[in-house]
Amino acid sequence: MNKNAYAPTPPMGWNSYDYYDTTVTEAEVRANARYMADHLKQYGWEYIVVDIEWYAKKAGSMRSLFQYIPFSELEMDEYSRLLPDPERFPSSAGGNGFRPLADYIHSLGLKFGIHIMRGIPRIAAHSHTKVLGSALGAERIADPAMICGWNPDMYGVRNIPEGQAYYDSLIALYASWGVDYIKCDDICNTNMHKNPYAASHEVEMLSKAIEKCGRPIVLSLSPGPALIEKAWHYEKYANMWRITDDFWDSWDLLKDMFQRCELWQNHVLEGCYPDCDMLPVGSLGKGFGEERLTRFTYEEQKTMMTLWCLFGSPLMLGAELTKLDDTTLSLLTNEKVLAMLPPDVRPHQIMRTDTYATWYEKDSVTGQTYLALFNLSDAPGDITLSLADADLFGDSLTLEELWTNNEKIVTDGSLTERLMAHSCALYCSR
Amino acid sequence: MNKNAYAPTPPMGWNSYDYYDTTVTEAEVRANARYMADHLKQYGWEYIVVDIEWYAKKAGSMRSLFQYIPFSELEMDEYSRLLPDPERFPSSAGGNGFRPLADYIHSLGLKFGIHIMRGIPRIAAHSHTKVLGSALGAERIADPAMICGWNPDMYGVRNIPEGQAYYDSLIALYASWGVDYIKCDDICNTNMHKNPYAASHEVEMLSKAIEKCGRPIVLSLSPGPALIEKAWHYEKYANMWRITDDFWDSWDLLKDMFQRCELWQNHVLEGCYPDCDMLPVGSLGKGFGEERLTRFTYEEQKTMMTLWCLFGSPLMLGAELTKLDDTTLSLLTNEKVLAMLPPDVRPHQIMRTDTYATWYEKDSVTGQTYLALFNLSDAPGDITLSLADADLFGDSLTLEELWTNNEKIVTDGSLTERLMAHSCALYCSR
Amino acid sequence: MNKNAYAPTPPMGWNSYDYYDTTVTEAEVRANARYMADHLKQYGWEYIVVDIEWYAKKAGSMRSLFQYIPFSELEMDEYSRLLPDPERFPSSAGGNGFRPLADYIHSLGLKFGIHIMRGIPRIAAHSHTKVLGSALGAERIADPAMICGWNPDMYGVRNIPEGQAYYDSLIALYASWGVDYIKCDDICNTNMHKNPYAASHEVEMLSKAIEKCGRPIVLSLSPGPALIEKAWHYEKYANMWRITDDFWDSWDLLKDMFQRCELWQNHVLEGCYPDCDMLPVGSLGKGFGEERLTRFTYEEQKTMMTLWCLFGSPLMLGAELTKLDDTTLSLLTNEKVLAMLPPDVRPHQIMRTDTYATWYEKDSVTGQTYLALFNLSDAPGDITLSLADADLFGDSLTLEELWTNNEKIVTDGSLTERLMAHSCALYCSR
Amino acid sequence: MNKNAYAPTPPMGWNSYDYYDTTVTEAEVRANARYMADHLKQYGWEYIVVDIEWYAKKAGSMRSLFQYIPFSELEMDEYSRLLPDPERFPSSAGGNGFRPLADYIHSLGLKFGIHIMRGIPRIAAHSHTKVLGSALGAERIADPAMICGWNPDMYGVRNIPEGQAYYDSLIALYASWGVDYIKCDDICNTNMHKNPYAASHEVEMLSKAIEKCGRPIVLSLSPGPALIEKAWHYEKYANMWRITDDFWDSWDLLKDMFQRCELWQNHVLEGCYPDCDMLPVGSLGKGFGEERLTRFTYEEQKTMMTLWCLFGSPLMLGAELTKLDDTTLSLLTNEKVLAMLPPDVRPHQIMRTDTYATWYEKDSVTGQTYLALFNLSDAPGDITLSLADADLFGDSLTLEELWTNNEKIVTDGSLTERLMAHSCALYCSR
């Protein structure tokens, strides 16, 4: 089956990282899933993703010293495969793994995703544990020269058949639990290495393992920035790949995303999504020891949602959902804006300078045209675009602004909008 | 008008450079045009392009010392615009410029193109000559810090309104002659500068000047390699841009083109063509003092034609057309192969290693699928591709090889072909 | 004769640039020379250097648009050699060149220097003027692809015998005027080119021309940063070379110099001086349209003088000398500090962090040890060094601080000093 | 005590690596030491160095798969310190460590050195073993993100007081054995990391640990290339540092060394030696599975010895000493050539091109001048140098060639020698 069919539109969901860091518990995951089913599912939001170190005992307990405690205990089976920590995920006890949690999430009509670190546990290599389907143990499959620069858990996997066997056994286990989405980390840009795509063979192994497992699992690659010259490889083997390092609620990062979307705009295709990373809206940061509301202003959040949707990025919520306020919720449930997400609606940057950006896109199915104007400067200002630059010929046009529902009539071939600093306007032709 | 409409399919034509270097004469251009009208036009070949230094007196006369004689005399009008050297282009005398030659070419049902160097003549700046439509003279429009690293004729144009006036006056003159195609050099990658796209404002100026001139002139940018991170800019302002430095008849350069096509494959769109450069086939090199037949073997030429057509590159012939042999001609007139050129037929690399490459593409209009297998190694070998990798599901398929017209039946989901070194096979589904 | 003998200690003098930019006149040069003879000569200051574009008519007259007016008139002889503009340098009229001015400066017991731009005038190349001692004209000696990125006057000289003839004729002329020092610009780091030492052959040509001219002319190379991997080449052919781009009165640039001195400390040798650039003290900036007193605080000026002297950099005053105040004068005439300049006193950095630096040096003739402590942070703080790190064994020592003449007694092997932000202390063992 | 006093001249010795790789045994070390005492000691050769993985069980036993077996057993004490493998070093059994072997070597009048990998054993971190003098265990001292790119044994040590305690305990143990020389690897250029001097804090820790241990231990840093911009740091903390990656018996590597010596020539000082790496002469390669005589010709070996001695590099023999032939021995025992080694004899490159290099140096004690001419091309040719370029003024001079003892009389200020390809001549003034 074609992996592009696993994600015909950009995945939309929730991810535990921005709020919980390494500490999320089963109860918290279930609560967020219930919220999604009740309030977001109808708009297309469907993935619930448990992020990093669900297998680590005492994860987060030395937060002032380490984000990831080095050389500490991990829950692992006899075949070098990591399992959920039963202390935080009680239903996983007794060899259940994530199956009970996945079942619950599926019962809500949602999909279940997990984060994994590329590779095989370091402790497996040092303990010479077995690998299912392989005559060689973990000590021969692990590559001692391939580590992650920021997390101490794994060694990279050698490009040998036994390495493929390890990944096959891993994905088969996770598929048996009902996993629908895997976010693999330290793989899209292995940034401590001189060759930042040193793990490309592990991307291929994961892709093959998914093909073999018989379950359509969406494959998401982190962290970024992805390498534009490897675009063809990501497109062939994965469903989404991060085009940025971790994105947080800072204007500098948001402004920077415009240059990244500019670079990747020709690579948004069915089943292939350059990924702008999670949306740091609402309540964030508890696991990092600094619980807070997003630092983005309302205008910045609108700009972010407009860019992500226009571009066709996956949408993953960083917020603790149970604490979502109505204003934030309204930003996430604007159906006219979300209608730009499908890859039939192809993005085109018209112009970008240090102070503004303009984009258009056309829905190849409906013929609808969208126009977006962004004020990237720190002061209010007029942003203009010529209709001809958006392939709209003729001088007059009636438009609707999609965040306000206001009508706008253009009569001279040119659209101008006065915008607050960091704000945007998004029009749809009628 | 949308500049993409000027070139709905990749331009196909002939260029004087590979055979004549700087020395081509009007009679030689006319002879090549006649050949094209008689033998190639029916297959889509239509552009006749006069390449570099048609304005330079005595061009080529000091070839052992200089390709371009520095500080020598150029034919220039009072407004700092270069004109054809009347000694080599007799019909241009008396202020006719290239109009008589263009008229002749148009009379054959062909289109006429010229090469220009970015900028304003150095001698105009040092002589303080006038610029039409500008209160400032050439000395104020020329940027003394912007030169070409390999040709001594011009200074770059400053990003000021008077600079636009210069380009407007230049393109208006060339449009009045009937020019259909401009290949602007030292602009796509200004490789002597730390910023290799230092002339981006001159690309915009040329584009605006063409828009104003009222004639649909195809804009081609040289030399390469173009910068992938500027793809959006080339796409917005030009019709084609070189993705490589000068391409010649060497296997190393041809093999290298596979990596370049890999990089640019998502950027082949209507009116926007990443350009693999001229086809150095047939008789070459006279103006360089080494007249010869192409050093490419027949297999290599087939590989080149297959890649260029598959990818959707413009096709510009380097050969002296009047000396074309039948074998070469047959490579250039295979209609089934040329049918892959239009941008509706989108290229997809399946895999590339140091020893082979495989591609497929689908014609979005006809539904036709093409499969190409290339042996990039220096020894014969079997190249294989899985039909599933080309989005062809089901195990059996009947194919036609387009260079031999042989039928090939696939029964096990996988296509294997034994190929000579540097050779290829190109299949079309039936 | 060994070129190192031309400058047995780092040259000390005055340069017109920081105050006058391109505009200095003969009268102003004479006034500064008289001041030097009266107040500074006794401390070792002896060079009077006329900086850039003394040959350019109307230099500085379009300062709001250009520092260097492009394509404007230069005073040049029939052999493509630039001469002083007689309007600004009246005594040069009638073919005298700088000889009368040089004579005057010599009469004061001082030495005379000029700035030149690498290469041959662009206008000579475009006009095909002659070159003394060469069968080829300027159009064949000039390299059209070698220009300066920031000044429009010259083309680089080709690496051919006729190029050497040009430099021989140029230096012979300047030697005949009595020039003692040449600061050649656009040569040490040709920063617009990919190869930043693309003019290395012109350094060799200048060196040979000086050898042939029979006059000991100090050769100074600009601008920086010089390339550490070419240190051997600068050492062999020049007397001083800039280790930094233009240095001005900003703390960031001064702080940055510590890293540069760290890098070059092993390269300070007799007749070979890595050059920290001019001292922007006193009155500055008139020619730049912003006459002002230096922006450096007194503490920063002390830090600068200490570092330059400790390191053994040439010392060139940027100030308009006739406006020097007593405090600045005292910084420039501290004989105990200036005693560190000779290359027998070799610099050694002990440690450098973002907030402090410590150095020591030993006079190999007198055995004297110097210790310097610098506070590079923006707040007051204690800076410490261990005597053992300065090769001073034993715990107790009596020191003299050279800016205050205070005595300091060390008893525990370690020297600590509380220093204001950006300040320093400089000790000499007794 | 000043660490520079530990090595007043460049260390000369033997190292087990080039012949034995990881497999050397105690008996083999003893045999080489006896040979040195008998045949080489009188010429200054004195160090016997046991190279990599003397602590690894079964080292070399999987040579077709791994140079260093990953995740295998290492001999280690309870304090995370590696000990000799008693199987290969029988006298080390029972807690003796290398003391008995060191004693034997000292009894021959020689000095004893060992190789160590930077850091703390990975297995110690994963096993949470203790560290002497530290409240924290190995799991807290090891940095999980700092590994060697080519050897799987260690983790880097964090820059914390407990890290210093580990190094103190390690060096104290090794000093107690009588170690005179430590070659620390993966420290001079940690080439897998983006910051290639990421281990600079471990250099400082080692230096401090040596200072504390009370024994003068020479500190040698590997691998190269060292970073020229960190020269001051190596000089302050170490005695020698590699300026090249592993050097072997290939002309390309030897030719390349000329550029490295050019770069580092100003950094050869008492106790501070840029290191050209081992001399791959005689019998080599047994442990690598390809026992052979050096691939260097006699002329190339002469060139190597001349450059290493002229430059002042440490000299470490790679040959199995017991198999040395007389010709090789004669190259290693030429006292007139070895007399150039001390740092009073400072190297100066005169010129280097792709085809030749010339150097001179002066003994600041005796006043003796040396002149070296190298033919770097692949054909015989005349190499010339001007005496003036070597600071030898006057036209006539009598010289002695030090490899042939031939006399050479210069009469015209210029020395020319016809040299075979890759050969050299070395003269001494009389």
Residue of C nearest to B72 (CA): C126
Tell me the DSSP string of C151-209: --SEEEEPSSHHHHHHHHHHHHHHHHHT--EEEEESSS--TTSSSTTTTHHHHHHHHHH
| Confidence bin at C394 (pLDDT 50/70/90) | confident
Q: Show the CA angle centred on residue C375, arms to residues C370 and C377, nearest 5°.
A: 160
Confidence of residue C1 (pLDDT cuts 50, 70, 90): confident
CB proximity list for A43: less than 8 A, separation 6 or greater? A12, A332, A333, A335, A338
pLDDT at C266 over 90: yes
Residue where the block lists tokens 């020297």: C415
Provide the residue-wise pLDDT of chain D in tens; the chain has 430 residues.
789 999 999 999 999 999 999 999 999 999 999 999 999 999 999 999 999 999 999 999 999 999 999 999 999 999 999 999 999 999 999 999 999 999 999 999 999 999 999 999 999 999 999 999 999 999 999 999 999 999 999 999 999 999 999 999 999 999 999 999 999 999 999 988 888 999 999 999 999 999 999 999 999 999 999 999 999 999 999 999 999 999 999 999 999 999 999 999 999 999 999 999 999 999 999 999 999 999 999 999 999 999 999 999 999 999 999 999 999 999 999 999 999 999 999 999 999 999 999 999 999 889 899 999 999 999 999 999 999 888 887 778 899 999 999 999 999 889 999 999 999 999 998 6
Residue A87's pLDDT band, with cuts at 50, 70 and 90, is very high
Contacts of B263 in chain A (CB under 8 A): 228-229, 231-232
Going D270 to D271 to D272 to D274, the CA torsion angle's sign is: positive
- The secondary structure of C122-134 as a DSSP string is HHHHHHT---TT-
Strands B218-221 and B240-242: parallel
CB contact under 8 A, B71 and C149: no
Give dist(CA D65, CA D42) in Å, integer. Answer: 42
Torsion region of C53: left, alpha or beta (phi above 0 gives left; psi -120 to 50 gives alpha): left
Tell me, what's the pLDDT at D216? 97
Q: How far apart are CA B184 and CA D124, in angstroms?
A: 65
- Average pLDDT over chain B reads 96
Backbone angles phi, psi at D228, to 5 degrees: -60, -35
Cβ atoms of B187 and B222 within 8 Å: the answer is: yes
pLDDT band of residue B1 (cuts 50, 70, 90) is confident
Q: Is the pLDDT of residue A21 over 80?
A: yes
ipTM of the complex: 0.94
Tell me how far apart the alpha carbons of residues B232 and C6 are, in angstroms, rounded to a whole number: 57
Q: What is the pLDDT of residue B191?
A: 83
Query: Tokens 């055995």 correspond to what residue?
Result: C367
Amino acid symbol at A413: G
Pairing of strands D47-50, D111-117: parallel
Higher pLDDT, A395 or D310: D310
Q: Sort A413 into a burial class: Cβ within 10 Å, 0-12 / 13-18 / 19+.
A: middle
Task: Spell out which chain A residues touch chain D, with contact meaning CB-CB distance below 8 angstroms.
Answer: 70-71, 122-123, 125-126, 128, 139, 142, 144-145, 147-150, 152, 192-194
Q: Which residues of B145-160 are buried (b: 16+ CB within 10 A; e: fewer)?
A: bbbbeebbbbbbbbee
Q: Check pLDDT > 90 for residue A342.
A: yes
**Chains C & D: contacts with CB separation below 8 Å:** 33
Q: How confident is the model at residue A191 (pLDDT cuts 50, 70, 90)?
A: confident
Element (H, E) at B145: strand B142-147
Q: Cα C388–C389–C391 angle (5° rounding)?
A: 60
Question: By percentage, how much of chain A surpasses pLDDT 90?
Answer: 94
Cβ–Cβ gap B232/A265 under 8 Å: yes
pLDDT at D1: 72
Structure tokens at A15: 């991810």
Closest CA to D52 of D113, D125, D124: D113
pLDDT of res. A144: 97
At residue D293, what is the residue type? L
Alpha helix ranges (H) inside C265-373: 298-311, 326-332, 335-338
Buried b (16+ CB within 10 A) or exposed e, B319-350: bbbeebeeebbebbebeebbbbbbbbbbbbbb
Q: Chains B, C in contact: 3+ Cβ pairs under 8 A?
A: yes
Q: What percent of chain A has pLDDT over 70?
A: 100
Q: In this structure, are residues C175 and C106 in contact, taking their beta carbons and an 8 Å threshold?
A: no
Mean pLDDT of A155-166: 98
Among B9-18, B391-400, C75-84, D303-312, where is mean pLDDT lowest?
Answer: B391-400
Q: Cβ-count burial of B195 within 10 angstroms (0-12 exposed, 13-18 middle, 19+ buried)?
A: exposed
Least confident of A325-329, B392-396, C299-303: B392-396
CB-CB neighbors (< 8 A) of A150 in chain D:
145
Strand partners, C398: C409
Residues 6+ apart with CB under 8 A from D31: D321, D322
pLDDT digits (tens, 9 = 90+) for B355-408: 999 999 999 889 899 999 999 999 999 999 999 888 887 778 899 999 999 999
Of chain C, the percentage scoring pLDDT greater than 70 comes to: 100
Give the pLDDT of residue D192.
Answer: 80
Counting CB pairs under 8 A, whether chains B and D reach 3 or more, is: no
Mean pLDDT of A260-268: 97
Contact residues, chain D, for C228 at CB < 8 Å: 228-229, 263
Q: What is the pLDDT of residues C213-264, one digit of tens each?
A: 999 999 999 999 999 999 999 999 999 999 999 999 999 999 999 999 999 9
Nearest-CA distance from A350 to chain B in Å? 8
The verdict on a CB contact (< 8 Å) between A122 and D123 is no
**Does C395 have pLDDT greater than 80?**
no
Chain D partners within 8 Å of C232 (Cβ): 262-263, 265, 349
What is the C-alpha separation between D358 and A414, in angstroms, rounded? 71
pLDDT of residue A392: 85
Average pLDDT over residues C291-296: 98
The pLDDT assigned to D417 comes to 95
Best CA proximity match to B186, nearest among B200, B205, B172:
B200
Model confidence at B430: pLDDT above 80: no
Cβ of C2 within 8 Å of Cβ of D388? The answer is: yes
How confident is the model at residue D194, as a pLDDT?
82
At residue A286, the pLDDT reads 97
A298-311 helix and A251-264 helix, angle to the nearest 10 degrees: 10
CA gap C313, C340 in Å, rounded: 10
> How far is it, in rounded angstroms, from Cα C112 to Cα C82?
17
- Taking 80 as the threshold, does the pLDDT of residue C361 lie above it? yes
The residues near B414 (Cβ < 8 Å, ≥ 6 apart) are: B384, B385, B386, B387
Q: Tokens 């009208």 label which residue?
A: B37
Chain D residue set in contact with C, beta carbons under 8 Å: 2, 228-229, 231-232, 236, 262-263, 265-267, 349-351, 388, 391, 393
Yes or no, beta carbons of C71 and B139 under 8 Å apart: yes
Among C83, C76, C199, C89, residue whose Cα is nearest residue C127 = C76
| Residue of C201, C262, C266 for testing the chain D interface, max D β-carbons within 10 Å | C266
How close C275 comes to chain B (CA, Å)?
25
Average pLDDT rounded to a whole number, residues C165-169: 98
- Band (pLDDT 50/70/90 cuts) for residue A168 is very high
Chains B and A touch (3+ CB pairs under 8 A): yes
pLDDT tens for A417-426 read 999 999 999 9
**Sign, Cα dihedral of A229, A233, A236, A240:** negative
- For B337: left if phi > 0, alpha if psi spans -120 to 50, otherwise beta; the answer is alpha
- pLDDT for res B63: 94
String of DSSP letters for A332-385: H--HHHHTT-STTEEEEEEEE-SSEEEEEEEETTT--EEEEEEE-SSS-EEEEE
Rounded to an integer, what distance in angstroms lies between the CA atom of residue A420 and that of residue B395?
58
Q: What pLDDT was estimated at residue C191? A: 83
Give B-chain residues touching A388 at CB under 8 angstroms: 2
Q: What percent of chain B has pLDDT over 90?
A: 94
Question: Is residue C40 classed exposed, middle or buried when 0-12, 13-18 and 19+ CB atoms within 10 A define those classes?
Answer: buried
Which phi and psi angles does A320 have, rounded to 5°? -70, 115
> In the block, which residue shows the tokens 């000396």?
B323
Average pLDDT over residues B129-139: 98
D391–C262 CB contact, under 8 Å: no
Q: Is the pLDDT of residue C393 over 90?
A: no
CB C288 within 8 A of CB C327: no
Question: What are B61-116's pLDDT values in tens digits?
Answer: 999 999 999 999 999 999 999 999 999 999 999 999 999 999 999 999 999 999 99
